[in-house]
């Protein structure tokens, strides 16, 4: 009964956005309201707790909003400085084919950003880059979200896997368990990752091509598979030999230059160039809901134009490598703003680690770019005003989305509640975990997907469900390493359709309100990815001790 009740806010959100094209900024506040009513009536939450958790969600949305604002600001700064037109011309010299551009930017470049930063950053950077190259905004978001999947489990220097290990504790997650978890997270991802660039291009061509056909994607299949292998081979090797911190970032650093050189040399590239045609011929559902400022023309050098992205990459990497020690410094002391528990309610304290957020580095780089590119005061003012306007609608959706997460996550954890009642999210996962041994391997990644869809984060999904997955594996006499790996992988797959990332990416391209269409399209590649992972695991399980 409680599991069914807990499912109502999620079901409403999915149906409203995917079936009725209701925008996230309307669907999420209503879903939050439903969760509050259910929490009060069925979970016996006190009103003060509902208010506290909702406000805690609002505070947590600051992290996401700073990332989005920073990503949008960098893009608008580069447009106003003239750097973006130079970058576009540079990409055109590599390939004028939109399919190749989607693979290089959406998959390989975004995988590097995922490996360094994670937390919704890759799609927020890649989607506007694709739009600047002539992609319809909705097509750019669809492709960017599909591509940002394989790298996610090892994103932000392995944070999602590290969180699962922390949840289990050293007694369970010993050195042998950790190594096996890294390998079995990498292998299914690596096999499916070979096909992800093709999958993204295929759905891009089918839903946004002039002929609405998969056929243009077939001619780019050899290059797509090549680019997938260039990333996934080093990705799996690093996971197996060195562990979970660097597979995504090193896989991308290896694959990106090879893929770019291959594209420039025409290796496996189709002879016929494919693109989206003229904007006036596009369907209205592909276009932005807000007119974005055009790029300023300039004669800037390609090196100078790309320097801001180089600065971003360097800042992200050096602040996230544990051996350098900057991570610990930037997350504490004067670099963290701490908010106490709200109204004395447990689990509502919040710390804004502003100096460690990727969005802060984006803002710093945008400020450096003003002098680097010698921008005028009017261009700087325009970039900042444009950016603030773009994120205004996204702020509503993300704030209520994270408020919904807090209500569902802590509905059963407050001291004033009946301690026999668990949280809404716990009941959802527990219901899925009662399917029996033979089916649990199929349902295990769905729990990870559920966590990411609701929370917008593989890391949070692992925080919520790692222990449940481990205990279910023990109870059902299944290999715990495999089941926890499926949780981690499922959380990554969920990124393709999670509401927060979709809203964030839409905000960067001016497509707020189109989230339902994007989720509806991306459900199909999500199912395909999940099915392939399950098949790989089922075939591999007999060979695991």
- Contact between residue 390 and residue 72 where contact means Cβ atoms under 8 Å apart: yes
* Separation CA 407–CA 188 (nearest Å): 33
- Which residues, in sequence order, are CB contacts of 146 under 8 Å at separation 6+? 106, 196, 199, 200, 203, 496, 522, 525
**Does residue 338 sit in helix, strand or coil?**
strand
Q: What is the dihedral of CA 266, 267, 268, 273, to 10 degrees?
A: -10
For residue 44, count CB atoms less than 10 angstroms from its CB and return exposed for 0-12, middle for 13-18, buried for 19 or more. Answer: middle
How many CB atoms neighbour CB 421 within 10 A? 18
Checking DSSP bridges between strand 337-339 and strand 350-352, what pairing results, if any?
antiparallel
Enter the tokens of residue 69. Answer: 């604002």
Measured distance CA(39)–CA(434) in Å, rounded = 24
Rounded to 5 degrees, φ, ψ at 88 are: -60, -45
Give the residue among 135, 266, 261 at the shortest CA–CA distance from 200. Answer: 135
Answer yes or no: are the C-beta atoms of 72 and 508 closer than 8 Å.
Answer: yes
Pairwise CA distance, residues 35 & 42, whole Å? 10
Local structure of 170: helix, strand or coil: coil
Q: What tens-digit pLDDT sequence spans the chain (545 residues)?
A: 788 898 899 889 888 888 888 888 898 899 999 999 999 999 989 999 999 999 998 998 888 888 878 888 888 899 899 998 898 888 888 999 999 999 999 999 899 888 877 767 788 888 988 998 999 999 999 999 999 999 999 987 788 898 899 888 878 889 899 999 999 999 999 999 999 999 999 999 999 998 899 999 999 999 999 999 999 999 999 999 988 988 998 999 999 999 999 999 999 999 999 999 888 889 999 998 887 777 788 889 999 998 998 898 888 888 877 778 887 888 888 889 999 999 999 889 999 989 988 889 989 999 999 999 999 999 999 999 988 887 877 788 888 988 988 898 888 754 444 456 788 888 887 887 788 777 999 999 999 998 898 877 898 888 888 988 998 888 888 999 999 999 999 999 999 999 888 998 998 898 989 999 999 999 999 999 999 999 999 998 877 76
- In 3-state terms, what secondary structure has residue 352? strand
Tokens of 474: 């023990």
Contact 26, 398 (CB under 8 A): no
Q: Is residue 502 within 8 Å of 141, Cβ to Cβ? A: yes
């Amino acid at each position: 009964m409680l599991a069914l009740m807990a499912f109502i806010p999620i079901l409403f959100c999915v149906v409203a956005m995917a079936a009725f094209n209701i925008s996230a900024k309307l669907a999420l506040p209503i879903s939050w309201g439903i969760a509050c009513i259910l929490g009060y009536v069925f979970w016996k939450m006190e009103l003060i707790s509902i208010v506290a958790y909702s406000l805690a969600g609002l505070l947590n949305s600051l992290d996401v909003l700073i990332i989005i604002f920073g990503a949008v600001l960098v893009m608008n700064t580069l447009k106003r400085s003239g750097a973006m037109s130079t970058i576009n011309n540079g990409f055109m010299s590599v390939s004028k084919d939109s399919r190749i551009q989607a693979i290089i930017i959406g998959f390989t470049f975004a995988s590097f950003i995922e490996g360094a930063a994670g937390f919704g950053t890759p799609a927020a950077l890649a989607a506007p880059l694709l739009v600047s190259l002539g992609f319809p905004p909705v097509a750019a978001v669809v492709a960017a979200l599909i591509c940002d999947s394989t790298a996610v489990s090892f994103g932000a220097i392995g944070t999602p896997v590290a969180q699962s290990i922390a949840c289990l504790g050293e007694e369970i997650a010993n050195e042998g368990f950790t190594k096996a978890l890294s390998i079995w997270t990498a292998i299914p991802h690596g096999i499916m990752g070979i096909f992800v660039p093709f999958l993204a291009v295929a759905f891009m061509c089918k839903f946004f091509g002039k002929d609405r056909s998969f056929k243009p994607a077939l001619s780019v299949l050899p290059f797509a598979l090549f680019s997938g292998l260039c990333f996934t081979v080093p990705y799996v090797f690093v996971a197996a030999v060195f562990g979970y911190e660097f597979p995504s970032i090193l896989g991308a650093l290896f694959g990106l230059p090879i893929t770019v050189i291959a594209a420039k040399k025409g290796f496996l590239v189709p002879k016929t160039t494919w693109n989206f045609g003229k904007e006036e011929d596009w369907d209205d559902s592909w276009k932005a809901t807000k007119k974005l400022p055009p790029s300023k023309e300039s004669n800037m050098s390609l090196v100078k134009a790309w320097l801001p992205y180089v600065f971003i990459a360097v800042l992200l990497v050096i602040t996230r490598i544990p051996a350098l020690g900057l991570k610990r410094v930037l997350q504490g002391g004067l670099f963290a703003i701490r908010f106490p528990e709200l109204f004395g309610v447990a689990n509502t304290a919040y710390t804004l680690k502003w100096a460690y957020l990727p969005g802060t580095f984006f803002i710093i780089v945008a400020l450096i770019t003003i002098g680097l590119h010698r921008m005028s005061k009017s261009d700087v003012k325009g970039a900042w005003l444009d950016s603030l306007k773009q994120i205004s609608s996204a702020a509503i959706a993300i704030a209520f989305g994270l408020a919904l997460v807090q209500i569902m996550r802590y509905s059963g954890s407050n001291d004033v509640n009946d301690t026999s009642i668990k949280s809404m999210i716990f009941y959802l996962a527990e219901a899925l975990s009662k399917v029996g041994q033979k089916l649990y391997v199929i349902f295990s990644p769905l729990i990870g997907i559920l966590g990411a869809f609701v929370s917008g984060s593989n890391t949070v999904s692992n925080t919520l469900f790692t222990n449940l997955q481990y205990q279910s594996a023990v109870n059902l006499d299944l290999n715990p390493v495999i089941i926890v790996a499926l949780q981690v992988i499922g959380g990554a797959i969920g990124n393709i359709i999670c509401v927060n990332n979709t809203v964030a990416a839409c905000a960067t391209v001016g497509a707020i309100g189109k989230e339902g269409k994007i989720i509806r399209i991306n459900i199909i590649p999500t199912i395909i990815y999940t099915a392939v992972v399950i098949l790989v695991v089922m075939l591999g399980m007999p060979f695991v001790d």
